[in-house]
Amino acid sequence: MITNLFTTEKSEPDTPPPLTAEAITQALASTEPMRAYAAAYLTGRAKADDATADQSLTQNLEALLTQSEEGAKPTTANDVLIEAAMSLALRGNTERAHKALLNLLHSPDPLGDQYKAAFYLAELGDPSGYPAFLSTLQSNIPHYRLMALRHALVFHQYDGQAVNGTTINVSQLLTARLHDPDPLVRSEAPFYLEELHPPNLRDLLQPVEQTDPSPDVRTAARIVLDRNS
């Protein structure tokens, strides 16, 4: 992320310069999506030595979210705003962050990374984004199904809870990805099931290891089976 912060359309540093509050502030206002995203992410995971500069970083996040919600800065990408909201939570303003994440969860943008907003909400103790997360996991775009799969385990702590009529069942949704149309998604599903470790793990993966048409998927299943023999 620090490398991304200093990467422009014209150059990428061999060795990133020191991380400073000024550099983060400049990148957060950048029109280059990768730099703005990195700045939004890093603001919640760095602390300036100077108290005034550090407070300014928090204020930058608050201003960015407010401007977007009021339509003053509608061009800021949802992924940047989602990271800005979580960074604000990491800086202690969880109430404001929660409000922003709920707004972003209900963005009309079909490619608005709603799964990430749902993921962060779940980390903050709110599973209400599960239906939106599930929608991404069932998207017709393989990349989004893969990204949702990589964030699914956060909902395991809420297993059995109903959200808007949908009962959270992480084992079920991971198992379904073993039959995903895309082999890349199928090849990662065994490892997340291994982390969840349902009691029927071997029963789930043995047919995959034996019959999946993709050698990569079969190998992934075999690795997990061997580690859990």
Encoded amino acid at 31, one letter: T
Q: Yes or no: say if 224 and 205 are a contact pair by the CB < 8 Å rule.
A: yes
- Count of positions (residues) in the chain: 229
Q: What is the pTM of this model?
A: 0.94
Distance CA 184, CA 187 (A): 5
From first to last of its 229 residues, what are the pLDDT tens digits of the chain?
Answer: 999 999 988 788 888 899 999 999 999 999 999 999 999 999 999 999 999 999 999 999 999 999 998 887 777 899 999 999 999 999 999 999 999 999 999 998 888 999 999 999 999 999 999 999 999 999 999 999 999 999 999 999 999 999 999 999 999 999 999 999 999 999 999 999 999 999 999 999 999 999 999 999 999 999 999 999 8
The domain limits of the chain are 1-112, 136-229
Encoded amino acid at 92, one letter: G
Distance CA 24, CA 229 (A): 48
Coil/strand/helix, residue 148:
helix
**Fold of the 136-229 domain:** Leucine-rich Repeat Variant (1.25.10)
Burial label for 63, CB within 10 Å (0-12, 13-18, 19+), is middle
Q: Yes or no: say if 192 and 153 are a contact pair by the CB < 8 Å rule.
A: yes
